[in-house]
Amino acid sequence: MRHEDKLTRTSKGLYIIYKNLHKSFGPQHWWPGETPFEVMVGAILTQNTNWQNVERAIANLKKNKVLDPKKLSQLPHKKLAKMIRSAGYFNIKAKRLKNFLKFYLESYNADARKMRQADTQVLSNELLKVNGVGEETADSILLYALNKPVFVVDAYTKRIYSRHGFIAEDARYQAVKELFMKNLKNDVQLFNEYHALLVRLGKEYCLKSKPRCDSCPLSKQNHKYD
DNA sequence: GACCAGGCACATC
DNA sequence: GATGTGCATGGT
């Protein structure tokens, strides 16, 4: 098979899945955060953690009126850790937040608009240098806080697309990201909605222990695309 | 009580 | 580069 044919078929497959999900679930209105800064904080707090637990932590920061770059960065470790307790890994996440805040304040004066003006690849490299910000967190910040066109890959994405035969189970982050970015239109809104829909699908139908493939919106496609 | 959740860094080989 | 481990809460 010619490379272009496969590319076209993959593109179509990925887009059909998107349309199915959008039809089933509707727009997801991501990211659930009021400001770019809140999105950045949420991106770090939600690492390997249920979003409900993160919401409690963010609500707690708001209640204490410290959801602000300078105030958060000046908060003693113990106080910060206590406030974000519900998000789990609170000691390590308090450190990670501080690491990010230092970068955000020193490099961009805690100004999301200024940050947004920077080149995407430059920003990506800078974010990945922050201890505690990995590939998914960096891309989440780029896409959902700064509206940069990058595709966010998470555990659900890998699970869903390996089960559907697009990638290997142990595919690397960058490989999965490329699959989407090379086969979809480079569109912030599309990337925003697609990832959000995959999380929605994952939560409801693709749990590790109890997948519900029978009633899944993609069940008609029956895990066959090739 | 076991398992899981919108990861990441670090040690070791 | 691959593999294993610690980090921790709250829901099912």
Q: What is the per-residue pLDDT for A225?
A: 44
Q: Rounded distance, CA A59 to CA A41, Å?
A: 12
Q: Rounded distance, CA A168 to CA A177, Å?
A: 13
A93 CA: nearest nucleotide by C1': C7
Q: Rounded distance, CA A100 to CA A69, Å?
A: 10
Tell me the average pLDDT across A186-212.
94
- Which domains does chain A carry? 3-29+152-221 (1.10.1670.10), 36-145 (1.10.340.30)
A207 CA: nearest nucleotide by C1': B4
Query: At residue A103, does pLDDT exceed 70?
Result: yes
User: Chain-wide mean pLDDT for chain A?
Assistant: 94
Q: What is the per-residue pLDDT for A216?
A: 92
A173 CA: nearest nucleotide by C1': B7
Q: What is the per-residue pLDDT for A75?
A: 98
A217-224's contacts with Cβ under 8 Å and 24+ in sequence apart are A217/A20, A217/A21, A217/A23, A217/A24, A217/A25, A218/A17, A218/A20, A218/A21, A218/A164, A221/A16, A221/A17, A221/A20, A221/A164, A223/A163, A223/A164, A223/A165, A224/A165
Nucleotides on chain C within 7 angstroms of protein Cβ: 2-3, 6-11
pTM confidence score: 0.95
Chain segment A104-134, per-residue pLDDT in tens = 999 999 999 999 999 999 999 999 999 999 9
Give percent above pLDDT 90 in chain A. 88
Q: Which of the residue ranges A1-5, A79-83, A97-101 would you say has the lowest mean pLDDT?
A: A1-5
Given a contact cutoff of 8 angstroms between Cβ atoms, the answer to whether A152 and A192 are in contact is no
Given a contact cutoff of 8 angstroms between Cβ atoms, the answer to whether A87 and A57 are in contact is yes
